[in-house]
A and B are shown apart, each in its own frame.
Chain A
Amino acid sequence: MQALTQRSRAVDRKPLTLWERIYLPAVLKGMTITFGHMFKKRPTINYPEKTRPFSPVFRGLHVLNRDEEGRERCTACGLCAVACPAEAITMEAAERKNGEEGLYREEKYAARYEINMLRCIFCGLCEEACPKDAIYLSETFAPSNFARKGFIYGKDDLLIPNPKTQPEELAKARGEA
């Protein structure tokens, strides 16, 4: 086979020497290394008692954001549902009525907002698609449930605690408390 490049280097494939063939030294060498590993710092962590720090951009479970006054930011524009490659997001829009200005930021809001966590692939495209700063992927992950129905997250599961009425819960959810 003629060489296609000038950069090829043959791998070192020389036959084993007598010393290597004796076998016992190699066993001892291997044992030394594995034994040495017993005294090294443990690379594992005791999950779930301890968790490792996540990067600030980690893509975990979704949250629906509220603004500083506790109003829902989502306007049910549907961009996240369009962007979702797994087609996991469903929403129904509704119009804000008089007297609901404290609940919803814009005139239109999502009356129903559901994410099927079994379909979701956590690609983060919904977060990227949102033009209203409303949906974020948080640092929590590993949802668990006994029934499939429980994996369809509605607004109750997704919305962050209201900073006006539930500031302690919000701080706890953010891991500040």
Chain B
Amino acid sequence: MSEYQHNNIKLPEGSIEKQTSTLNLGPTHPATHGVFQNILEMDGERIVSSEQTIGYIHRAFEKLAERRPLYQITPITDRLNYCSSPINNMGWHMTCEKLLGVQTPKRVDYLRVIIMELARVADHIICNSVIGVDTGALSVFLYVMQYRELIYEIYEEICGSRLTTNIGRIGGFERNFNNTAFTKLEKFLKEFPVALKEFETLLQRNRIFVERTVGCGPIAADRALNYGFTGPNLRAAGVDYDVRIHSPYSSYEDFTFNVPVGTTGDVYDRWLVRNEEMKESMSIITQAYEKIQEFKGADAEVYHANVPEYYLPKKEDVYTKMEALIWHFKIIMGETAIPPGEVYHSVEGANGELGFYFISDGGRTPYRLHFRRPCFIYYQAYSELAKGSMLSDAIITMSSLNLIAGELDA
């Protein structure tokens, strides 16, 4: 930083007026949990000002999507917030369904809710336990990580992959949930609350953790709203905005759940909000699972909507029937013209409102696709949050915002 800029910086109270030093935190610093570069002006341990660099892992997703048929964009959305890729996948499918005017059956909605809430739990497990790691408590991270493994095993039964899931298709799922998936879900529903309780015992009322996080990186509700915060970070600041309630998708209106809100928007509040959200998610999953068990007979076999232009015909038919084979080729080659129109759909992603703005000009690929990525917005505020704090507080502030580099840079 130039001398000129330095002279304009008002040093926080209590710091000694002296030359500051520049510190490059990242882009490959282990404590930033991702490819983030922060150019910090440090006065001793205290951050005077900071400048963020973005774009280290920019992969031009929006441009890539402009020349791909709809089904090939799903693997791209996997790589946004890779801690909860099913939410991104489902959000994308629902955007397409909104544009195509597809009505999904209730069972599909409920199955989606289960998967999305599992993804939210998985994401919050990582975020909250990593706050623990950054404050010096590594063992809690290891204990709850075992339960993320259970979630990944459920994904694996349904889509065959664990992290970059590419789960579901336009209209529903690629296959019905098998019994193993439901058994694993039951196991998770039974075992995770116990582990979550233990996780709380270790951190929530622990003096070291509380004193480390309270008052760290706070943001007021109006500032958060001005930045465009959504999700747990906004709720921690005290605004009870939740996409699942305010514009319900995938039949979220059928479920009863609460919106945990904080008051000060500091790291501790964000941690508490995420922790409560995990419990709410568990309750939503239980409700959805109960609703799914109510489907009997042919209804219990429904796992996709009737979208012949976009949903691949059954493999047996493709091997034997001409009509199905033609449709199969047509879909894979991406030869279906998408109806022209503009649509915005947002889902409550694990770390905020994940939006898809989709413009179609009637071609076979999107004319323009924009991802509204919550991390991108949080990162804009990071400079303000980190200013005046100690270096190690800035690290936990960053963890608690749940910044995921993949989503930030797209």
Contacts and interface: CB of A to CB of B under 8 A. Distances in A.
Interface of A: 1, 3-5, 7-13, 16, 20-21, 23, 26, 29-30, 33-34, 37, 43, 54-55, 57-59, 79, 82-83, 85-86, 121-125, 128-129, 131-133, 137
Contacts of B139: 34, 37
A8 B262 CA distance: 10
Considering residues B68, B198, B205, B325, which has the most beta carbons from chain A within 10 angstroms of its beta carbon? B205
B319 A133 contact: yes
A20 B74 CA distance: 48
B25 to A, nearest CB: 29
8 contacts: A3-B240, A11-B273, A12-B272, A43-B149, A57-B156, A59-B160, A128-B312, A137-B160
Contacts of B68: 85
Contact of A79 (B76, B258, B275, B332): B332
Interface in B250-269: 257-263, 268-269
Nearest to B246: A4
Closest 6 CB pairs of A and B: A8-B240, A11-B272, A57-B160, A59-B160, A123-B75, A85-B72
Interface residues of B, number: 63
B72 A13 contact: no
Given A26-B207, A79-B332, A9 B261 contact: yes
A129 B332 CA distance: 6
A43 B166 contact: no
B175 interface: yes
Given A10-B261, A55-B180, A57-B159, 13 more contacts: A5-B246, A10-B263, A11-B272, A11-B276, A37-B139, A55-B157, A58-B160, A59-B160, A59-B161, A122-B164, A125-B71, A125-B166, A131-B328
A57 B164 contact: no
Given A5-B242, A33-B202, A85-B72, A131 B329 contact: yes
A123 B160 CA distance: 9
Given A58-B156, A82-B332, A121-B75, A13 B198 contact: no
A9 B202 contact: no
B329 A16 contact: no
A35 B312 CA distance: 52
Interface in B315-371: 315, 318-319, 325, 328-329, 332-334
B245 interface: yes
A26 B166 contact: no
Interface in B219-234: 221
Contacts of A37: 139, 143
Given A1-B239, A4-B241, A83-B332, A9 B272 contact: no
